Structure 1
Amino acid sequence: MTDNQYQPELPRHMSFGWLIAVLGADMASTLDKHLKEIGLNIGLWPTLFALWEEDGLTQSELTSRCNTAHYTTTRLLDSLEKMELVERRPHPTSRRAHLVYLTEKGRELESKAAPLAKQCNEEFLSALSSSERAQITGLVKKVIAGRNPKLKL
């Protein structure tokens, strides 16, 4: 090897970042395939998931909970409105803000989408025991919270 060649400190298969990126991309692709069966896609998932957890959030709250850029949230909400899954309503105390609510169609979609996500998680975690599943979930949440304590987990 010459002095000009870069030698990584860790091989790729030992890099936490690379492993998480591979796993995340694979999980996102798999969930996207499942969601397309019901007319959704992976891009819409975080916003819908947040609203199924708590309806009536502001766009800023959705941006924070989904860890997306403000303009991305705006674009996603526009798409969800066109699909008649959400509606924006005026905020009772702010002239500038709107609250985002699921429509009946959006609420009903949860009963189809949630089992698909559960199936995807099960597929990816099937090699782990229940205690290992709890451990890996807890450790990843700890890493995320350490990097982004404002993100609501």
Structure 2
Amino acid sequence: MAFNRADSATYLASLLARSFSRALQERAHKLGFAPGQFPILLELWAEDGLTQKQLLDRLDIEQATMANTLARMERDGLVFRRKHPSDRRSQQIFLTERARGMEAAAKEAAVAAEQSLLAGFRRFEKELMLEYMRMALANAARSGDPC
């Protein structure tokens, strides 16, 4: 059986992920954050003061990647760290005023990026695509494959 890239979900998902990232990157750059920082920002907008371990658990990111991303975010004035009040080994990550102030614009940028890539989709097609993506991610989680 010949391998056809156009029929490969793995290949197409990789291209799609890069396309979404590029579409967000253009918009995010104007606001002062990178697409790789967006998931962390989303988690902290939902619950500020998480530890690095909590972020790792929620986002399934490699430890080294998380440490580097948080260091860049701290350098760029998006987050700051504070010692955890009850666990001396942990630090909590907090958003700066700058990062809190960009929440609405950043979420609008993400929606605009999504809309640009899903232009022409009917509502039910977008909903089906999202459902299929969630199903595939749930399968990956059950099988232990990295998401």
Q: For residues 88 and 66 of structure 2, what CA distance do their matches in structure 1 show?
A: 19
TM-fit CA distance, 1:32: 0.8
Match of 1:48 among 41, 47, 61: 41
Residue 141 of structure 1 aligns with which residue?
A: 134
Q: Deviations over 1:73-131 (max 9, x none)?
A: 11111111122211112222211011111111111011221111110111112221112
Is the aligned partner of 1:68 residue 2:23? no
What TM-score comes out, normalization by structure 2 length? 0.88
Residue 103 of structure 2 aligns with which residue?
A: 110
Residue 82 of structure 1 aligns with which residue?
A: 75
CA-based RMSD of the aligned residues comes to 1.7
Q: For residues 38 and 61 of structure 1, what CA distance do their matches in structure 2 show?
A: 26
Is the aligned partner of 1:21 residue 2:14? yes
Counterpart residue identity of residue 21, structure 1: S
Counterpart residue identity of residue 120, structure 1: A
**Unpaired runs of 5+ in structure 1?**
1-7
Percent identity between the two aligned chains: 28
Between 1 and 2, higher relative CO (CA 8 Å, sep ≥ 6) is seen in 2
What TM-score comes out, normalization by structure 1 length? 0.85
**Unpaired runs of 5+ in structure 2?**
none
Residue 28 of structure 2 aligns with which residue?
A: 35
Paired positions, count? 143
Larger helix percent: 2
For the pair shown, which has the larger CA radius of gyration, 1 or 2?
1
